[in-house]
Structure 1
């Protein structure tokens, strides 16, 4: 079984990379904002560990624990929502296995001849063109020097070139 993969456009990739970079920057800022004052005060005054712990380290622990609590609440909410949908959908028989189609059934389903279906099965690289309605309009074989355009629908205005 082959999987069709399409290359993602550069713009969504760039936006994704930028948002990831911003998220990591924000995370490091929040961690640094809480940890750096504690470390600086500990270096300057190593004898007053208890006072530093209460004044600088406890706010950091409170901030991190609030992040963990928020994450746990969001995760629990998503888990409950998923379980609710799983229970609700278990009554429905939406995902029954459909029977396998024969070559004749496939050709009728996609409005192609058996000869064209054979080409679709055995060629590794083909260019498929769709009509405005979304149906398969014609097949182009790019491996040929002068590609033949093969008409698949009898009512189409395209002819064999």
Structure 2
């Protein structure tokens, strides 16, 4: 499978990298904040209730992500096969030579 690569100017590339790094930093911050909130309670860290509830939610999210991945992969494979069949169909058409084209117009004579 080939990726389409287009050239970006330097400013757009820098903006893309900065936004990507900002998104990753936000994700790490949110994860750390959530884990800290689960572990930091007044009576000390209680591992039984909040973490298992979070793991159940995380399991649901992972099943949804897996389902989405299966759908996307199936759609990509379908488009790949469809594109291959279209390319084969287009490749089978032979170009007419000048002689054959001339003969096709003179069939009735």
Q: Distance in 1 between matches of 2:51 and 2:13?
A: 38
- Please say if 1:71 is aligned against 2:65: yes
- Please say if 1:53 is aligned against 2:43: no
In the superposition, relative to structure 1, how do residues 7 and 80 fare at CA in structure 2: closer, same or farther (>3 Å)? closer
Larger Rg belongs to: 1
Q: Distance in 1 between matches of 2:53 and 2:36?
A: 12
TM-score (norm 1): 0.41
Q: Distance in 1 between matches of 2:18 and 2:61?
A: 23
TM-score (norm 2): 0.56
Which segments of structure 1 move beyond 3 Å, counting only runs of 4 or more? none
Q: How does 1:1-161 map to 2 (within 5 A)?
A: 8-41=8-41, 44-45=43-44, 49=46, 52-54=47-49, 56-92=50-86, 93=88
Q: Distance in 2 between matches of 1:17 and 1:80?
A: 30
- CA drift of 1:81 comes to 0.8
| Cα deviations by residue, 1:16-68 (Å, 9 ceiling, x for unpaired) | 11221232123213322331122223x9525xx4xx421x2133213432432
How many residues are paired up?
A: 85
Task: Pick 1 or 2: higher relative contact order, CA cutoff 8 A, min separation 6.
Answer: 1
In the superposition, relative to structure 1, how do residues 14 and 35 fare at CA in structure 2: closer, same or farther (>3 Å)? same
SS of 1:45's equivalent in the other structure is coil
Return the structure number with greater helix share.
2
Give the CA RMSD over aligned residues. Answer: 3.0
SS of 2:38's equivalent in the other structure is helix
Unpaired runs of at least 5, structure 1: 1-5, 97-161
Unpaired runs of at least 5, structure 2: 1-5, 92-109
